[in-house]
Amino acid sequence: MNKKTIRDIDVQGRRVFVRVDFNVPLSKAPDAHGRYAVTDDTRIRAALPTIEYLRKQGAKLILASHLGRPKGPEAKSSLAPAADRLSALLGVPVALAPDCVGPEVERRARALQPGQVLLLENVRFHPEEEKNEPAFAKQLAALAEVYVNDAFGSAHRAHASTEGIAKHLPAVAGFLMEKELEYLAGAVTNPAHPFVAILGGAKISDKIGVIENLLTKADKVLIGGGMANTFLKAQGIAVGDSLVEDASLDTAKSLMAKSGGKLVLPTDAVLGDKFDKDAASQTVGVAGGIPAGWRILDIGPATVQRFGAELKGAKLVVWNGPMGVFEFPKFAQGTNDVARLVAACGATTVIGGGESVAAVEQAGLAASMSHISTGGGASLELLEGKALPGVAALMDK
């Protein structure tokens, strides 16, 4: 990684603005006191190494994050539950500022002592955040003397707290950002071989750039999930009532034509007679077509076996997207089996955010993977070979 990190800058006694990703799931309803609770603290825990390092170095910490897509200040998008959870994890008080800018926030920031932590209220309560308005970015920067971006999950957005602020302060990466870039950027800039990519999820249109880029980097690209249906139909195979992107059929044909045999598609599938957890199911080979009234909801055992053969001897595996409708237990087998194969293959394994993370956690195999990304959209853009605005804004080594 060619960007400076918190190891490269003196933070002793300085106010350090840390952009974290505390966009965490909260309870659906408040408790009797009107407070919501964090239901999954994975992203908060992921920021702890950076926060604890800076505290030990004598920094005065000002943390900022977004949560959800609020249209303005609202209780259900407040970062108060995140402040409570972080305080419990750190074992020290974490105060929540009443806003992220303004005189009172400035007063609290300036009153911080070394090692103390202040969490700003949701930056997206201000529309200027997503518009990356220069005046708003300058207000955020005025709170601190150093900027640290540790929010990989938001690094693909050019927002005031991820990109604009870096124009006003010395800007470096936190440890989580560094780790994400080493694994994900490393996979596309200098991958170990054999390199096998596994792509799933519903839509081919979301991942055209990723597939095109990985076909130039990987030795094999294994395709599952709903996106595989479009490739199958592009080959002239009847797919019944399966999800298909007809507008992407020509793209699928083009990708197959230039893949040089690197694309590996399902040979069998688990079908459902409706999109429902209680649907009737059957497993069929795909070559003969999918019967009318049935839809592909998972890859079948023969495909799992084929994918397993491709994974043997791999040095690097990058996986993004489930192999089927893994939310329904009846159609989760393919995804779970692939998770087990990836965990056991002996390669460096990188799970690229979003639903793939949920699938690996559901299979109980998260601890067996080399790296699990905290950013779905950001990881996809890196795999596509794009520069991330929140990373480009940081100082080079």
Q: Is 99 left (phi over 0), alpha (psi -120 to 50) or beta?
A: beta
Instruction: List CB contacts of 279: < 8 A, sequence separation 6 or more.
Output: 272, 273, 297, 328, 330
Residues 6+ apart with CB under 8 A from 234: 249, 250, 252, 253, 256
Alpha-carbon distance 149 to 393, whole Å? 10
Compute, in degrees rounded to 10, the torsion defined by CA atoms 229, 231, 233, 235: -150
What is the reported pTM?
Answer: 0.88
Q: Cα torsion at 367, 370, 374, 377 (round to 10°)?
A: -130
H or E stretch covering 270: strand 268-272
Superfamily designation of domain 191-383:
Phosphoglycerate kinase, N-terminal domain (3.40.50.1260)
At residue 306, the 3 state secondary structure works out as helix
Catalytic residues, which ones?
Answer: 43, 203, 354, 377
- Is the bond into 194 cis (omega within 30 degrees of 0)? yes
Place of tokens 């994918």: 307
Residues of the chain with CATH 3.40.50.1260: 6-179, 191-383
DSSP letters, 119-173, are EPP-GGGSTHHHHT-HHHHHHHHTT-SEEEE--GGGTTS--TTTTGGGGTS-EEE
Eight-state DSSP code of residue 205 = G
Distance of CA 105 to the CA centre of its chain: 30
Question: Would you say 154 and 19 are in contact if contact means Cβ atoms under 8 Å apart?
Answer: yes
- Output the tens digit of pLDDT for each of the chain's 397 residues: 799 999 999 999 999 999 999 999 999 888 888 889 999 898 999 999 999 999 999 999 999 999 999 999 998 999 999 999 999 999 999 999 999 999 999 999 999 999 999 999 999 999 999 999 999 999 999 999 999 999 999 999 999 999 999 999 999 999 999 999 999 888 888 899 999 999 998 887 888 889 999 999 999 999 999 999 999 999 999 999 999 999 999 999 999 999 999 999 999 999 999 999 999 999 999 999 999 999 999 999 999 999 999 999 999 999 999 999 999 999 999 999 999 999 999 999 999 867 888 888 888 898 999 999 988 888 988 888 889 999 999 999 9
Query: What CATH number has the domain spanning 6-179?
Result: 3.40.50.1260
